[in-house]
Structure 1
Amino acid sequence: MHVNRVSRARRRGAAALAASALLGGAAVATGPAANAATPEAPAAAAADCSDAYKIEQTLSGGTTWRMCWSYEREAGLVLNKVSYQPKGENAPIKVLTTGKLGQIHVPYDDGQNEYDDLTSFGFGMGLQGLKAAECPGGTIKTVKLPDGGGNVKGLCTTTRARGHAYRMAGDAAGQVWQAQGKDLLVYTVNQVGWYEYMTEWRFSDDGTVNANVGATGSLSYGDYDAGDGRGWPIGKGAKDYATSHSHNVFWRLNFGLDGKPSKVEQYDSKLTAPSGGGTPKIKTTRTKVTKELAGDVKTYRWWRMVSATGKNKDNHARSYEIVPGPSTKYPGRGYTKHDVYFTEYNKCEQFASNNLRSCGAGAGKSVDKWVNGQTLTRPVTWVNIGFHHIARDEDQQPMPVHWQGFQMVPRDVTAMNPLTPDALKNQNGNYMSGR
């Protein structure tokens, strides 16, 4: 509940009222670690991406990721100028112009409470300080919060193993080609009332990008009142019921493959029933998305963002495929009824719901209202991943992290697997035909 979010923030020692006027009266949670003295941070992110705002990491296998970061009052961490340079490429390949959260919408099943955590509840100003143990082998960067919010050592950049990148039996007896993958991990933790959200970006050595939000922290004690079938019994017997609710997380992405606005394509595959005892056939068709679109995930449907100018060494257009993770769409609001949105760039359209900026008469305050038939020349991609949280005994205490997110997977960005061993580099296409 709203009042319980505020009371918990105060119990943790947050300077709740300092930013209330800026954040629509919502309390701001910062936590004791965030209030500790930290080294002075630069005043703002420089346009040329000064060293304080630069992230660069070369991973095992020779892949280098480069990006700039900044921090916003509502959205929190923003990644800018993201580029990927695998081994064998002479220059970095530009991927994302910007990437950030577009909203965390939290409606409760009993209809009593509904929150927009980014724009109504001080998400960005709730940045938590991180200890070295939370960023093993990495660096914790100091973030200067907007509006005089102080300095917080709250941005972790580190590397993390992810297991097999590939495995293939070789031609010789006992020969195995295998490699263990590595990721660059960039993350922050933001407290909103009883919840703590981990905003995580993983950049893999094979070019894949994973965007995830993990919810942890604690169940609100004020929610233990849902004895009407809209909650789950927590604790001894059937006295306390934690109210069920949804977490609808939106990401806002501006793809800039090879430095130009990317194009949108949708692919659909259709199965033809067999005739005469044969095998079913599947045909895949491409649709160039030239107008704004609200899209729904379906079996055999996917989207990719395509470079307007760049091609790989096989002369195929570079692109990134959007691969949504598991999701439960919340049907209660128009903006949560679709899985992806492609809108024409408009500076004022920053948040998928409860957008703070005025975008003109009749423009609306949510992403579904912005899909109105405009031609896509500078597409902005919005991805919506929902999670219906029906609490369980194991959610206390503290609450295990539950993750939701999606992948951006390279499709023809390089001519071969960027981690291909040198001995196999001649095996591109139908190499056995001698072409």
Structure 2
Amino acid sequence: MRVNRISRAHTRTGAAALAVAALAGGAAAGAGPAAAQPRAAAPAPQCSAAYRIEQKLANGTTWQMCWRYEGKAGLVLEDISYQPPGEAKPIKVLKSAKLGQIHVPYDDGKNEYDDLTSYFFGAGLLGMAPGECPGGTIRTVKVPDALDPANANVKGLCTTTRARGHAYRMQGDTPGKVYQKQGSDLLVYTVNQVGWYEYITEWRFQDDGTITTNVGATGSLAPADYDAGDGRGWPIGKGAKDYSTSHNHNVFWRLNFGLDGSSKARVEQYDSKVSPPARGQGPTNKTTRTKVTKELAGDSKNMRWWRVISNEGKNKDGHPRSYEIALGPSNPYSGRAYSKHDVYFTEHNKCEQYASNNPLNCGAGAGKSVDKWVNGQTLKNPVTWVNIGFHHIARDEDQQPMPVHWQGFSLVPRDVTAMNPLTPAELAGENGRPRDGS
């Protein structure tokens, strides 16, 4: 069981950091990634240098943010801004971003875990060797309320850059002239141990303004969960003796947008419907927009998506800035009300911090999970919750150690800039309808 694994975690990390804790931050272990020189008009993130991440990527885009570390959620990123080439100052994107829960129910109904709020996710921060952060910097994190104060400082926060491949390619009708650019990302990640699992919490900040976040589960299959074959597991090892119990990983993220520096924002839902051919024409596709004015528990469907829109700023074309929520592959878990839905939009309440088993007292009748907080309030300062589920049916290849299986989503800029932020200078005039023959 997980209790046994906790003692093993103590041996491996050198610290029995198991206490649930208040908020705390980390101290820098050394110089961070190469930093851009901000323009005079550009506001710096509201944190000290030790808690600041600032990176200018190869194509000229700069990301800035602050970081801190919570006793339950682990890594928290705040005051996140993005400045691509051609913009005079950083564009504020997110006020805060963090994990909102990792809910792990087992198929046999005997075990169900809330890893952030009940099983010491934050306290389970693991140290990283330089090889786990290639080309980057590993910062020291002060783990809140570690049981062994001598080992409370963990070199466990990696910031580095990584090539992404093609950012774009355009040849068109001019084979002698190819426009192409290779993209790069700023990566920020930690590794946390809960029981036999180790979770890699990764944030990728692309040079085109996209933010992608993933949680990767690795480590080991829990040996105490071998059920000898009751139909809810998979045979692991020789013959059909040991069966690893199947289970879900329901990962929640909590996002508080701060587009253009304001937490006030609008939410819209888009649905497209394809109609069959009629009167000699091909099929038609009509997209409708629904303004989400009240709290919502949203379900993903084919050709459905949501965006969060700035109330404060527009791009140079006069279009309101927004970010689209692009969900990754998911298997929502129907066993609990809070894990049935893919997204939630709730009105901001600082007490509502974790999607399930929320430990804070939010008042009589408030409930302990995100589904209870969708109660008809008007959205003025919306908080976005994203739930990505993975049903883990083990396989022989899961041992030993277990390959990483990833689950996550992206935040894609929609009208944040007037053109592709990486547009080459000679195409800067190609905004709107292209010239004939171009």
Establish whether TM, by shorter chain, passes 0.5. Answer: yes
**Amino acid in the other structure paired with 2:261:** G
- Equivalent residues in 2 for 1:4-403, closer than 5 Å: 4-10=4-10, 12=12, 15-16=15-16, 19-20=18-19, 22=20, 48-148=46-146, 150-260=152-262, 261-403=264-406
**Amino acid in the other structure paired with 2:281:** G
Deviates more, 1:140-149 or 1:97-106: 140-149
C-alpha separation between the residues in 2 aligned to 1:96 and 1:380?
11
C-alpha separation between the residues in 2 aligned to 1:400 and 1:287?
41
* Partner SS state of residue 222, structure 1: helix
CA deviation after TM superposition for structure 1 residue 11, in Å = 5.0
Asked if the contact 2:297/2:345 (under 8 Å) is kept, the reply is yes
CA deviation after TM superposition for structure 1 residue 262, in Å = 2.0
Asked if the contact 2:163/2:185 (under 8 Å) is kept, the reply is yes
C-alpha separation between the residues in 2 aligned to 1:267 and 1:13?
47
Asked if the contact 2:217/2:406 (under 8 Å) is kept, the reply is yes
C-alpha separation between the residues in 2 aligned to 1:383 and 1:173?
43
C-alpha separation between the residues in 2 aligned to 1:5 and 1:133?
25
CA deviation after TM superposition for structure 1 residue 281, in Å = 1.2
C-alpha separation between the residues in 2 aligned to 1:247 and 1:6?
19
From the superposition, tell whether residues 225 and 12 of structure 1 become closer, same or farther in structure 2 (CA, over 3 Å): farther
C-alpha separation between the residues in 2 aligned to 1:102 and 1:64?
27
What is the aligned-residue identity percentage?
A: 73
**Amino acid in the other structure paired with 2:200:** M
TM normalised by structure 2 equals 0.91
CA displacement 1:88-140 (0-9 Å, x = unmatched): 00010000000000000000001110000000000001001111111111011
**Amino acid in the other structure paired with 1:138:** G
Asked if the contact 2:276/2:284 (under 8 Å) is kept, the reply is yes
**Amino acid in the other structure paired with 2:373:** W
Deviates more, 1:316-325 or 1:223-232: 223-232
CA displacement 1:136-187 (0-9 Å, x = unmatched): 1101111111125511110000000111111111543432111111000000
CA deviation after TM superposition for structure 1 residue 39, in Å = 6.2
- Equivalent residues in 2 for 1:417-428, closer than 5 Å: 417-428=420-431
CA deviation after TM superposition for structure 1 residue 60, in Å = 1.5
CA deviation after TM superposition for structure 1 residue 13, in Å = 6.2
CA displacement 1:208-245 (0-9 Å, x = unmatched): 00010000011111112241111111111111111100
Counterpart of 1:30 in structure 2 is none
C-alpha separation between the residues in 2 aligned to 1:8 and 1:195?
12
C-alpha separation between the residues in 1 aligned to 2:182 and 2:340?
39
Deviates more, 1:315-324 or 1:5-14: 5-14
CA deviation after TM superposition for structure 1 residue 381, in Å = 0.2
Deviates more, 1:346-355 or 1:263-272: 263-272
Unaligned runs of 5+ in 2: 22-27, 31-44
- How many residue pairs get aligned? The number is 414
From the superposition, tell whether residues 352 and 226 of structure 1 become closer, same or farther in structure 2 (CA, over 3 Å): farther
**Amino acid in the other structure paired with 1:217:** G
Asked if the contact 1:99/1:254 (under 8 Å) is kept, the reply is yes
Counterpart of 2:40 in structure 1 is none
C-alpha separation between the residues in 2 aligned to 1:144 and 1:275?
65
Unaligned runs of 5+ in 1: 24-37, 41-46
Asked if the contact 2:228/2:241 (under 8 Å) is kept, the reply is no
Asked if the contact 1:233/1:241 (under 8 Å) is kept, the reply is yes
TM-align CA RMSD: 2.0
CA deviation after TM superposition for structure 1 residue 271, in Å = 2.1
From the superposition, tell whether residues 400 and 156 of structure 1 become closer, same or farther in structure 2 (CA, over 3 Å): same
* Partner SS state of residue 423, structure 1: helix
The yes-or-no answer on 1:404 pairing with 2:407 is yes
